Structure 1
Amino acid sequence: MIWTWALRPYYRTRLGVSDSPLAMRAGLMALGCFPFIFASATKWNIITFIIGHSHEKLQRYHQFLSYIFVILSLIHSFPWFLQGIYDLKPTFKSLTPFQWKWHVMFRDYYSSGAVLLFILVWLCWASLPLIRRYHYELFKHIHIISAFALTSFFFIHCREASGCWHYLFATMLIYATACGCRLLWILYINRAGIPRASFELLHSGAVKLRVKCYRRQQWRPGQHYFLHFLTVMPFQSHPFTIANTPSEDNELEVLIRKSDGVTRRLFQHLQSKDASATIPVILDGPFGGMHHDLSVYDRAILFAGGSGITFILPILQDLVQRAQEGTCACMSIQVVWSVRERGSILWMMEELTKVLEEAPNSMVTVQVHITGAVETLEPEPEVDKRIVSLGTPLYGRPDAAGMIHAAASEGQTIGIAGKYISLCSQFRC
């Protein structure tokens, strides 16, 4: 951005002689962002291969580059319009200077550029969090269609000027390679047969899937798979965090809470099935995960909210297993889980109870917080009987900052992890 404005002149000293240097410079810089925008948007990409960060961490760069792309495109566009207004072409006296530019000299450039600018503004506006979260499935389809339309009009707009098509071909190659690699990986991990998933309908509109794989799958705690539900929406996938560690039975477990789109249709589909039925599921992954090792800290604090328990549960299981093997320096693990109602505790109660039983020397403590309004919570005596092994739940939101500072005051190193805490922080008094 600075380089775009740093060089002068912005316009030629004689209008009508040549193009605006500012416009051309901004346009070429915008074009240079194009391959990186597409590369950071794909699940499989060369950036992840080089630096090791998963696709979800690259989304912020994808969004940032896209906004830079729009700003550079606006800087590219306005000088053309201004210069078109003031240029004089005496051979077309019946047309104004701007009309001459638009209809005669640069007709394809101006018309395709106007369409491109409209698509760009639409893409960025529709990608705002408030709009994106309103109906994500619709947003995703429109986003992809708009991106392909943008690329098509880009070819028309550039018309092989100054080797611009090389950038576009590079972008297409990057995207096609990413899609091809992802397809090959899906075929590879599902080559022994399409896995089938059993299900268990749970309290508060949740369902637990146990996917039985024909071949052993490997994943790290905190990673997620994209699942394709062939009997519900076969051409769509949805990410779900794996709620267990790899085991000998080749089974992975996910917790799904009913929302909109795929999850709602899946829940309705499973309600019509027998409890013993299974559904075919295609796996794609694993992706993401933590890049820090909590086992090197004296103490670990794991935060989760609602279904985010699936992120920290395998981390907890892994730490306890390593403690049993004597390869974990962590002496204390505190789990802080916030749910809206008591019934949600049943989602992962069995798994948490098992970890508590396996943990050596009371290593693990579980603290459950119920954040729903007390006056709206109905008595659930059966639930209360089943969750007694996890202790008495607390009402209200947890004081995360207070917990961290209290632990830090003891002079221990502390590792912190959670669904929305993408870091592993170290504190020492």
Structure 2
Amino acid sequence: MGVNVGFCFAQIDDLDYQPKYYVISKRISKVAIGSLPIMMFSVAKHDVLTYISGLQHDRMEFLHKWLARIMWVMISAHLALAIYYWLSLKFIIMLYIPPQIFGFIAYFSFCVLTWGSVKFIRELAYDFFLVQHRVFAFIMLLLSFFHNGGNRAAILIAVHGLVIDRVVSKVFAHIHAHKSPTKGRCEFKILDEGTVSVTIPVCEAGYSKPKAWYTRFLPKYKTWKAGQHIYFNVSKIKFFQYHPFTIASLAESGEMKLLIRVQKGFTKQLMKNLEQVDHDVVTIKGMFHGPYGATYQPFIGFDTCLFFAAGSGGAFTFPVCLDLLNQIEKRNDFGDYLFRPATQTIRFVWSIKKTDNICWFEDILKQFAGRCIVDIYVTQECKEENSSSTESNSKGSIMEITKTLSNDYNIYYGRPDIECIIQQHSQQLLPEQSISVASCGSPPFTKKVKESCQAARKLDKSPNVYCYTESF
């Protein structure tokens, strides 16, 4: 924002052949249009700006929304000052020529785009948001091109870049659907009253992905990185809607497993349709494009790795942790200790509402057995024999271990003390060592993780603390 404001007023004193406020209005429009490529690329599915800047997906979304709002303020100022200039000259005809009419329509479309995408509208009518955002974006970009005779390059770069990104995504969506072993048919299974599991066959057994160097720069096909997400569509439920879901499995399995929590709109309608079918597993045709995201640093180089998950946020942290354990096991078998510590401490903390939720990732929990520390915190249940002691404890306090369902993990009743866990492991390390913290959950949960990591960095002789979070 500061850079944009600086450009709006830079060296305008040299332009003295027109009123200063009109010069400023023209400069504001140029700067606003110049921000268009960044605003458009920030929502590119293939994470162009993420790879360049290192910013995470949620930061890109934040940049897109607020840069659009700043541009709206700048364009509004440009519109008001330009209209005032022509009215002051009593040259009203300039407001009726085609380029100006195109500008007015583009501004109206931009207003709808900016304020028709606020959170309560998206929650109230998501289909309306999708349709209006695409329609008015097309109108705004087209008429902005006609209106800005001397600044069309920025519009062309923004439009072509985003169109290429979307076309590549759609092409790969159809390729995945037609080349999959089941031709796009996915298996849906109701796990509980608010959770659906989806299995998407991606490749045949024994498929080996290409290892050529150039594949690093191409969209992934029949493979994915642990923790990445896809945009999933079930046309039978919602024809236009593609929703992001994290892949809760590793590429070696050949199947993408998704965990869908029922909320509103698409997920609610999906659950209704599945409940009407008298089968444990329902097969419905679906499409997806991706994978995207998961731009974290390799965790294998850290002395201590902590993973935090809240509820279905385990769809990110479970496969990432399992992938790390598999990497360690493979490199140990080859005696490869290059650029990594000889021994690593790995701890997984999962917060869930009920013990029944353990079934969501029970298959991965079995693979954790004896390979890392696993603590499960149950927040909305308590052991009956300890109910009296529960009432005497303050809200949110952590009780002692009250039940162990398996030798592979511990069950706690209460909420995890995230800051205490992070600081406890940080204090066990030397200043030259490092600790990584990865988490996924609701925004308040990930915010707590970030704050706890920041507090750990301020400790005396603290190690290097790396924090990576994803929210849903």
Segments of 5+ residues of structure 2 without an aligned counterpart are 208-221, 388-401, 464-472
SS at match of 1:209: strand
Question: SS state of the match for residue 321, structure 2?
Answer: helix
Compared CA separation, residues 172 and 392, structure 1 to 2 (3 A): closer
Letter in 1 for 2:191: L
1:279 paired with 2:284, answer: yes
Checking the alignment, whether the CA contact within 8 Å between 2:189 and 2:281 is kept in structure 1 is no
Matching residue within 157, 167, 174 for 1:187? 174
Q: Look up the SS of the partner of 1:43 in the other structure.
A: coil
Matched, 1:264 2:272: no
Q: Is the 8 A contact 1:45 1:178 kept in 2?
A: no
Q: Are 1:62 and 2:64 an aligned pair? A: yes
Distance 2:429 2:57 in 1: 36
Q: After TM superposition, list the pairs within 5 Å mapping 1:342-421 onto structure 2.
A: 342-352=355-365, 354-357=366-369, 359-360=370-371, 363-371=372-380, 387=405, 390-395=409-414, 397-411=415-429, 413-419=434-440, 421=446
Q: 2:158 aligns with which of 163, 171, 188?
A: 171
Measure the CA separation in 1 of the matches of 2:189 and 2:418.
32
Displacement of 1:313 after TM fit?
0.4
Distance 1:58 1:145 in 2: 22
Between 307-316 and 23-32, the greater mean CA deviation after superposition: 23-32
Q: Which letter does structure 2 place at the counterpart of 1:391?
A: N
C-alpha contact (below 8 Å) 1:53/1:288 kept by paired residues: no
What percent of counterpart residues are identical?
Answer: 22
Task: Give 3-state SS (helix, strand or coil) of 1:365's partner.
Answer: strand
1:115-161 alpha-carbon deviations (Å, 9 max, x no partner): 33333333222333454445444323322222112123324433xx3
1:125 aligns with 2:115: yes
Alpha-carbon displacement from aligned partner over 1:370-391 (angstroms, at most 9, x marks no partner)? 157999xx9xxxxx99955543
State the Cα distance separating 1:173 from its structure 2 match. 2.2
- Paired position in structure 1 for 2:191: 202
Question: Secondary structure of the residue that 2:12 maps to in structure 1?
Answer: coil
Q: Are the counterparts in 2 of residues 37 and 66 from structure 1 also a CA contact under 8 Å? A: yes
Q: SS of 2:35's equivalent? A: helix
Q: Secondary structure at the match of 1:123?
A: helix
**CA–CA distance in structure 1, aligned partners of residues 35 and 18 of structure 2:** 31
TM-score by length of 2: 0.74
C-alpha distance 113-346 of structure 1, shift in aligned 2 (>3 A): same
Aligned-residue offset at 1:302: 0.9
SS in 1 for 2:368: helix
Letter matched to residue 165 of structure 2? A
Q: 1:237 to 1:298 in 2, by over 3 A?
A: same
Find the counterpart in structure 2 of residue 295 from structure 1.
300
1:241 is aligned, of 240, 246, 249, to 246
Q: 1:288 to 1:317 in 2, by over 3 A?
A: same
Contact 2:245/2:258, CA 8 A, preserved across alignment: yes
Q: Which of these residues, 320, 339, 363, is aligned with residue 352 of structure 2?
A: 339
Maintained 8 Å contact 1:44/1:181: no
| Deviation digits for residues 12-41 of structure 1 (CA, Å, limit 9, x no counterpart) | 6776xx992111111122222223322322
**Alpha-carbon distance in 2 for matches of 1:386, 1:146:** 56
Larger radius of gyration: 1
1:4 aligned counterpart, secondary structure: helix
User: Partners in 2 of 1:230 and 1:71 — Cα distance?
Assistant: 38
**Paired position in structure 1 for 2:228:** 223
Q: Distance in 2 between matches of 1:414 and 1:46?
A: 28
| Contact 1:244–1:317, Cα closer than 8 Å, also in 2 | no
Question: 3-state DSSP class of the match of 2:285?
Answer: strand
TM-score (norm 1): 0.80
Q: Is the 8 A contact 1:369 1:398 kept in 2?
A: no
Secondary structure of the structure 1 residue equivalent to 2:437? strand
Please state whether the residue corresponding to 2:264 is helix, strand or coil: coil
* Distance of aligned partners of 1:3 and 1:387 in 2 relative to their CA distance in 1, 3 Å threshold: same
Shift of 1:243: 0.8
Deviation at 1:335, TM superposition (A): 1.7
Sort the Cα spacing of 1:257 and 1:145 in 2 relative to 1 into closer, same or farther, 3 A: same
Amino acid of the structure 1 residue aligned with 2:427: S
Displacement of 1:295 in angstroms is: 1.9
Structure 1 residue 292: Cα displacement = 1.0
Secondary structure in structure 2 of the residue aligned to 1:2: helix
Moved more, 232-241 or 322-331: 322-331
Tell me the CA shift for residue 222 of structure 1: 0.8
- Judged with a 3 Å threshold, the aligned counterparts in structure 2 of structure 1 residues 40 and 271 are, in CA distance, closer, same or farther, namely same
* Residue number in structure 2 paired with 1:306: 311
What one-letter code is carried by the residue in structure 2 that aligns with 1:20?
A: Y
**Are the aligned partners of 1:204 and 1:344 in contact in 2 as well (CA < 8 Å)?**
no
Query: What is the aligned partner in structure 2 of residue 27 from structure 1?
Result: 29
The 10-residue stretch of structure 1 (286-295 or 271-280) with the greater mean CA deviation from structure 2: 271-280
* Aligned partners of 1:43 and 1:55 also within 8 Å: no
- Paired amino acid for 1:197: C
The one-character-per-residue Cα deviations of 1:214-259 (angstroms, maximum 9, x if unpaired) are 4452111110112222432343211111111122x51121111111
Q: Give the residue type in structure 2 aligned to 1:173.
A: H
- Match of 2:241, SS? coil
Q: CA deviation at 1:171?
A: 3.3
In structure 2, what is the Cα distance between the partners aligned to 1:138 and 1:345? 36
Q: Distance in 2 between matches of 1:104 and 1:319?
A: 65
Shift of 1:183: 2.5
Q: How far is the alpha carbon of 1:366 from its aligned partner? A: 1.9
Describe the shift of the 1:137–1:119 C-alpha distance in structure 2 as closer, same or farther (beyond 3 A).
same
Query: Is 2:23 the counterpart of 1:2?
Result: no
Letter in 2 for 1:271: E
Of the candidates 140, 156, 159, which is equivalent to residue 150 of structure 1? 140
Which secondary structure state, in structure 2, belongs to the residue aligned with residue 231 of structure 1? coil
Counterpart code for 1:195: G
